Structure 1
Amino acid sequence: MNSTTLLFSPNSSLLITKPSSGLTKRRAAVRCSNEPDLSVSHEVEGVEMVGRRRALVSAAAAACGASVLGFAGHGMAATQGLLAGRIPGLSDPDENGWRTYRRPDDKSGGHGVGWSPIIPYSFKVPDGWDEVPVSIADLGGTEIDLRFANPKEGRLFVVVAPVRRFSDIIDDDATIEKIGNPEKVITAFGPEVIGENVEGKVLSSATSEHSGRTYYQFELEPPHVFITATAAGNRLYLFSVTANGLQWKRHYKDLKQIAESFRVV
């Protein structure tokens, strides 16, 4: 039986090479993440000649346990779930062309010490926004659970982090009020989002309540970013919507609506 060897190297892009005459193997290199150099070999038996290229790529993605698709400029990075076809958790457009994303109940996750299932969250985005792979290299002290983007309009990400990493709260029923008032929260957690001190950058702040849960909402500049913060279970949720200057000017209303739509369900 013919066999195909798939070689995975995190520092290489997708590559399929044809063998010399007489050989029966195909070799594919797929970048799965930005992890340290580590090659992993997987044997896939019985790949037929017809559609071999397609089968190789599909097998490679399955072996990585992730999609290898992503937007240009965001890199080829590992992500939870498959991006091919309809994105899990994303609804069809409504009458206004907006989609609702709800984190699937069975999506893997759970960051930090004291793992527990993540209470799902939801938000709305205009049609044309899509999930972007989350790289291990993104973490940098935060726990980014999800990324979405539209190359012409902006991008967003969701940080879901254990409350105990930031607070002395020991119960599993945290609220944003228990963590602190809006000023304390943005001062403490704003740097988790923008990577620098937020002093002098907070243009506005507001508090809203939905289904008994309190949300703190902030607008910062620079950089241009909306941040929505809340807590549920033993998790802190930070929802960030950002864009460059031109995108911010053209799509400010939609970006603000995205930020204000965030809910923990």
Structure 2
Amino acid sequence: MGTTVFGCCSSSLSWRCMQRIENGYSRTRACAHVVGEREDCVSRRRALVSGVSLSVLGFSGEALAVIKQGPLAGRIPGLSEPNEQGWRTYRRPDEKSGGHGVGWSPIIPYSFSVPQDWEEVPVSIADLGGTEIDLRFANSKQGRLFVIVAPVLRFADNLGDNASLELIGPPDKVISAFGPEVIGENVEGKVLSTEVAKHSGRTYYQFELEPPHVLITATAAGNRLYLFNVTANGLQWKRHYKDLKKIAESFRVV
């Protein structure tokens, strides 16, 4: 009797080989099939062992879904305590991983403010924006937000490592190029308003789109473009527009 390991019995291989020969297989072909089955079995066993090891180490499925490259992978707290108005400020931790590609410089930290009951949620590469989504926050009653950090090389290859919105182009160029990543469709005819603001010498483009309801704040720093996106459904938009607008306008790259 062979030893069974995770459902695979080594002594049964020769028996299955003989069965295939009796069914018309050549000896070489029959044995090749059986060896293939054994290799599949080993692969499944290794996968199962890996899964058990991760469970023992305390990793959950959600944690694995949001792990990124770097020394401190995954979600890292960056929220302050609530202020007198009940708002909290998030600042991207300097140690948070997620370089978004080999050869890229570290992401320059950014910050924004949200009501105290907004929370960070997992990022999925299946989302619009894909692997360029750096962070997500949400509140089931008010709306959600996400940050896209994308290479400025999409616009030109001579912007260097200290790009600015002025070098990239005017607001309509930026929103036409990156708006579809945010809303999943062409932005033509959907931009309700555009504003240009400056904070600490850095330029920000602010857009309001509809439909869908979304506020986008864009700026550039280093060799990346930052898109801060706040969105909500119709009812949330109607009830919480003032707060959503405040969130969108709070975005800063440090």
Q: Same fold (TM over 0.5)?
A: yes
TM-score (norm 1): 0.71
> Which residue does 1:59 correspond to in 2?
58
> Which residue does 1:122 correspond to in 2?
111
1:50-89 alignment, distance < 5 Å: 56=55, 59-61=58-60, 67=63, 77-79=65-67, 88-89=77-78
Equivalent pair of 1:112/1:161 in contact (CA under 8 Å): no
Equivalent pair of 1:79/1:135 in contact (CA under 8 Å): no
Could you tell me how far 1:246 is from its partner in structure 2? Answer: 0.2
> Which residue does 1:213 correspond to in 2?
202
Q: What is the identity, as a one-letter code, of the residue corresponding to 2:59?
A: A
> Which residue does 1:197 correspond to in 2?
186
Q: 1:113 to 1:197 in 2, by over 3 A?
A: farther
Could you tell me how far 1:184 is from its partner in structure 2? Answer: 1.1
In structure 1, distance between residues paired with 2:145 and 2:56? 28
TM-score (norm 2): 0.74
Equivalent pair of 1:78/1:135 in contact (CA under 8 Å): yes
In structure 1, distance between residues paired with 2:120 and 2:213? 21
Structural RMSD (CA): 2.4
1:79-118 alignment, distance < 5 Å: 79=67, 88-112=77-101, 114-118=103-107
Question: Larger Cα Rg: Structure 1 or Structure 2?
Answer: 2
Could you tell me how far 1:227 is from its partner in structure 2? Answer: 0.2
In structure 2, distance between residues paired with 1:224 and 1:217? 14
Q: Which of residues 110, 135, 139 is equivalent to 1:150?
A: 139
Q: 1:93 to 1:140 in 2, by over 3 A?
A: closer
In structure 2, distance between residues paired with 1:130 and 1:227? 19
**Larger proportion of helix:** 2
In structure 1, distance between residues paired with 2:116 and 2:51? 40
Q: What is the identity, as a one-letter code, of the residue corresponding to 2:63?
A: S
Q: What is the identity, as a one-letter code, of the residue corresponding to 1:67?
A: A
Q: 1:130 to 1:260 in 2, by over 3 A?
A: same
1:1-265 alignment, distance < 5 Å: 39=47, 41-42=49-50, 56=55, 59-61=58-60, 67=63, 77-79=65-67, 88-112=77-101, 114-138=103-127, 143-265=132-254
Equivalent pair of 1:112/1:162 in contact (CA under 8 Å): no
Q: 1:165 to 1:40 in 2, by over 3 A?
A: farther
Could you tell me how far 1:79 is from its partner in structure 2? Answer: 4.7
Where 1:42 maps in the other structure, the secondary structure is helix
**Larger proportion of strand:** 1
Equivalent pair of 1:121/1:263 in contact (CA under 8 Å): yes
Where 2:246 maps in the other structure, the secondary structure is helix
Could you tell me how far 1:139 is from its partner in structure 2? Answer: 5.6
How high is the sequence identity, in percent, across the aligned residues?
Answer: 74
Q: What is the identity, as a one-letter code, of the residue corresponding to 2:49?
A: S
Q: 1:129 to 1:57 in 2, by over 3 A?
A: farther
CA displacement, residues 159-184 of structure 1 (integer Å, 9 cap, x when unaligned): 00111133233410000111110111
Where 2:66 maps in the other structure, the secondary structure is coil
Where 1:209 maps in the other structure, the secondary structure is strand
